[in-house]
Amino acid sequence: MVLSRGWSLFLVGVGVWTWVIWPRFAVAIWQDPRSWASGTVADGAPTSFLWVHALLIAASLAIGTTAGVLGVRAWLAARRRQPS
65 vs 56: CA distance, rounded Å: 14
34 vs 74: CA distance, rounded Å: 42
* Per-residue pLDDT, 1: 78
pTM for the full predicted model:
0.86
79 vs 83: CA distance, rounded Å: 9
Quick one: average pLDDT of 15-28? Answer: 98
Quick one: average pLDDT of 26-47? Answer: 95
Where is average pLDDT lowest: 13-17, 33-37, 60-64, 76-80? 76-80
pLDDT at residue 30 is higher than 80: yes
How confident is residue 63, by pLDDT bands cut at 50, 70 and 90?
A: very high
> Is the alpha carbon torsion for 50, 33, 41, 47 positive or negative?
negative
Mean of per-residue pLDDT scores for the chain: 94
* Per-residue pLDDT, 81: 79
